[in-house]
Amino acid sequence: MQTKLLTDSPADIAEAGRLLRQGEVVGIPTETVYGLAANALDGRAVTEIFQAKGRPADNPLIVHIASLEELPALVEEVPEKAKRLASLWWPGPLTMIMKKAPCIPPEVTAGLSTVAVRFPVHPVARAIIRAAGVPLAAPSANRSGSPSPTTAAHVMADMQGRIAAVLDGGECDVGLESTVVDMTKEIPVLLRPGGITLEMLRQAVGEVEVNPAVTAMLKEGEVAASPGMKYRHYAPKAHVTLLRGGPVAYAAYVNAHAGPGVAAMCFDGEETSLTVPFLTYGPRGNGAEQGHRLFDVLRAWDRRPEVTRVYAACPDPVGVGLAVYNRMLRAAEFEVIDLEE
């Protein structure tokens, strides 16, 4: 199969919609990351997503809509707190989990009784959903376990020959997957942090719990209720280790472990003390900028096969930094070293 590269022209958006109606899989832009989209109401088409990604079938997908009017048909009910969050951040980088309606096939939800729904703000994403005429199931458009794609070139590198088309809508603004909140409980539960932060959610609806898997491994046998909760995710081929500590301690540790294949992933301006190859991924304390650049930097290591071990400076898990920390933990397979200051 030759994967078509489409533009964001009206004709190409219409072509993407046609392919999706025919049950094909298409890479599409959103404000968070690029998604691998298929008709969310067609279980066979959704199965093609899992095959293209090499994604385990027990990992649920997110359903994307282009208007609030589409939501009631997809869920049993919309809780009042979900309505409050929707009024603030839909369209936007927020996914809410609710009890699913019968029209949602089990392939989308990994057999769960709930469905994750998002209303993206990206105008091209919404135009494609409207052109398809159906809600679209769409995980990130990368091979399973590797860093998420934030450009069409990233998607083509992973998916050439595996899907029908990729539509180039430019670089993603946010760069991290959406915040996922379980709204089926009396107290909402944060399952995956993102650009809509825990602090913002609590300000909007009061108490919000944090699932332990945000900062720790899923327990043995525990079911993933949301995308992004699996053990290893977002990882380059090089082995990543997180180093928690200040810039002086970080540089001292990295330099003490310098050698063939060793590199550093540090904050802007903190590379001057290093004696190993490096890439920077934003200023210390600026979670939004770190998130915007994170996946591009993680992917960059795969273009440097001589690098086999990356010592990454650990972000501060506050605000958007919690989302960056969550992704970095999984890229490092939860290997974190606390440094002496």
Pairing outcome for strands 35-39 and 136-137: antiparallel
DSSP assignment of 154-194 equals: HHHHHHTTTSSEEE---S-SS-SPPEEEE-SSSS-EEEE--
Pairing outcome for strands 189-192 and 114-118: unpaired
Same domain, 167 and 68: yes
pLDDT (0 to 100) of residue 254: 98
DSSP assignment of 12-35 equals: HHHHHHHHHHTT--EEE--SSS-E
Model confidence at 229: pLDDT above 70? no
Same domain, 209 and 282: no
- What is residue 116's three-state secondary structure? strand
**pLDDT-based confidence at residue 235 (cuts at 50, 70, 90):** confident
Same domain, 59 and 134: yes
For 197-213, write each residue's pLDDT tens digit.
Answer: 999 999 999 999 999 99
The better pLDDT of the pair 55, 96 is held by 96
**pLDDT-based confidence at residue 226 (cuts at 50, 70, 90):** low
DSSP assignment of 234-248 equals: S--SSEEEEEES-HH
Model confidence at 104: pLDDT above 60? yes
DSSP assignment of 78-115 equals: --HHHHHHHHHHSSSSEEEEEEBPTTS-HHHHTT-SEE
- Count structural domains, the chain: 2
The residue whose two tokens read 């376990």 is 145
Looking at residue 18, which CATH number applies to its domain? Answer: 3.90.870.10
Taking alpha carbons only, the member of 334, 261, 336, 265 closest to residue 304 is 261
Token pair in block for residue 331: 């890229």
Same domain, 194 and 299: no
In a domain, 302, yes or no: yes
Same domain, 155 and 282: no
Same domain, 164 and 254: no
Same domain, 103 and 245: no
In a domain, 134, yes or no: yes
Instruction: Give me the domain span that covers residue 293.
Output: 239-338
Over residues 252-277, the mean pLDDT reads 97
Same domain, 72 and 141: yes
Distance CA 274, CA 250 (A): 9
Whether 1 contacts 109, CB under 8 Å: no
Backbone angles phi, psi at 214, to 5 degrees: -65, -40
For 284-323, write each residue's pLDDT tens digit.
Answer: 999 999 999 999 999 999 999 999 999 999 999 999 999 9
In a domain, 225, yes or no: no
